[in-house]
Amino acid sequence: MKKHLKKIISIGIVLAVYALVIVLVQSGALSRHYQSLLVPIGINVILAVSLNLTVGFLGELTLGHAGFMSVGAYAGCLFSIYCDLPTAIEFPLALIIGGITAAIFGVIIGIPALRLKGDYLAIVTLAFGEIIRSVITNLDFLGGAGGLKGIAKYKSTASGFTTVFVVLIITVIVILNLVKSRHGRAICSIRDNVIASESVGINVVFYKLLAFVTAAFFAGVAGVLYGHNLGILKPNTFDFNKSIEILVIVVLGGMGSITGSIISAIVITLLPEVLRGLEDYRLLIYAVVLIAMMLLNNNPKFNTFKENIKAKLRPGKKSAAENASVDINATANVSENAAEKEAE
């Protein structure tokens, strides 16, 4: 009963957020500047949630997410340009083609790269992203350094937001279900202890590749959405700074936290624009806020405070303080029993 109630509440919140944004857009309450940020926010959420699967749940540091995004973006947008089909058929096919193309590159890169660990994996994936950007820059049929033009844009802000919002919800549902499934538990076990996972028969290479390819697929889908939002794709957009930006969003939101990635993506996307009026001090304040958020996320007291807030929002769940007191009482009882046995 509680599970069904939680699902109903979650669906209600999602519908309420969507309805609120649409009302604000249609009524003109949001300025054109902030309306233009709605689609980028959704795209960054998709990128952050998908990268969290690799960095947060699998525990592998990768810096090639922008590379997968670019591969998917160019593949899907090329299909949209040269394929003359009704939009209702063409656009979903473009998303699927972009995602599958990125996933194929994920397999090609993942098979050799995922045998590496730590900094070595990060360097290889970073090199992959830079190689892809360099190749795209030198291919004339992809527009070269000038960019791929002629991509059909969304008819309106409302239609663009609706499209991205639907894809965002699908992304979150798929990754949440994957994480909570048997495969997700295997992925998390690899993060916790690779040797122990191998010893109980978990195919480490397969599950690493599964998480890597799934993240690449959704990065490719996000790239197609990005291309149709701007109407042009430029190789320099997908440099290593883009990969670092997505990684920062994941780290600030909390490794392995889907909710944290969503909130962090919204904040990081809006923050530079909110601070735009401060001109020369904008980047300085932005950097200070990022550092402050990093320090808070690594503070045990702040993490305990967050757990207590979550516990209050979820009546059936105990707070961190209550869990700690239970652990202390249990330890005290064990000590008392041991003392009594020694006395006997």
Q: Residue 251: give its domain's CATH number.
A: 1.10.3470
Each residue of 14-54: pLDDT tens digit?
889 889 888 888 888 888 888 888 999 999 999 999 999 99
Instruction: Kindly state whether residues 265 and 295 are assigned to the same domain.
Output: yes
Mean pLDDT of 185-199: 88
Residue 240, both tokens: 């290593």
Summarize pLDDT for 241-258 with one digit per residue, the tens: 888 889 888 888 888 889
**Buried b / exposed e along 234-269 (16+ C-beta atoms within 10 A):** bbebbebebbebbbbbbbbbbebbbebbbbbbbbbb
Residue 2 has pLDDT above 70, yes or no: no
Q: Residue 143 has what pLDDT?
A: 84
Q: 5 and 71 share a domain?
A: no
The boundaries of the domain holding residue 8 are 1-30
* Residue 343 banded pLDDT, cuts 50, 70, 90: low
- Cβ–Cβ < 8 Å for 312, 320: no
pLDDT at 328: 40
Q: Would the pLDDT of 326 be above 60?
A: no
Q: What is the pTM of this model?
A: 0.84
Q: Say what the pLDDT of residue 319 is.
A: 47
Structure token pair of residue 107: 């397999």
pLDDT digits (tens, 9 = 90+) for 270-308: 887 777 766 666 667 767 777 777 777 677 777 787 777
Q: Verify that 179 and 313 share a domain, yes or no.
A: yes
Same domain, 186 and 71: yes
pLDDT at residue 337 in the model: 52
Residue 2 lies in a domain: yes
79 touches 94 (CB < 8 A)? yes
Are 272 and 203 part of one and the same domain?
Answer: yes
Domain count, the chain: 2
Residue 146: inside a domain, yes or no?
A: yes
Q: Do residues 24 and 69 share a domain?
A: no
Tell whether 325 is covered by a domain.
no
Tens digit of pLDDT for each residue in 76-109?
999 998 888 888 888 999 999 999 999 999 999 8
The span from the CA of 269 to the CA of 222, in Å, is 15
